Amino acid sequence: MALFVLGAGATRGASFVEPATNPCLLHLDADFYAQLQLISNPKHRDTVRDVNKDTVELFGLNFRVAMETVFTTLEHTIRMVETTGESRDFKHGQLSKQRDTLMQAIAATREESLCSDKDEGEAVRGQRV
């Protein structure tokens, strides 16, 4: 029996990752927003725009945050609003929508990094790392 433990970035060196054809790499925490900008599939355009808008709303125009910080901030703020009630600044529904958009953006970067143009949106299957 073999056990493989793959950590952050393991896919970046995989044999099926071809930066020439798929410039978007499977994101790491710190470069999530950089990889998000490399998504070329038009079906994700609104998600990319919305997650950037949401992050600017939470952290300001020149934000320097990683994906995990944004996700954690949204999760904790949602829990605080559930406990203390809504204020003018934080609405439960809006925060939940922002979290959902972030999760969609994470999925979009994964799809973009693992699919080639000829796959038409389906993940590459049967490839060995």
Domain ranges of the chain: 14-119
pLDDT tens for each residue of 95-111: 999 999 999 999 998 88
pLDDT value at position 1? 60
Mean pLDDT of the chain: 78
DSSP H helical ranges for the chain = 32-36, 45-59, 67-84, 92-114
Can you give the pTM of this predicted structure? 0.71
pLDDT tens for each residue of 45-81: 999 999 999 999 999 888 888 899 999 999 999 999 9
Residues 104-128, mean pLDDT to the nearest whole number: 65
Residues 6+ apart with CB under 8 A from 123: 111, 114, 115
User: Is-contact 113 26, C-beta < 8 A?
Assistant: yes
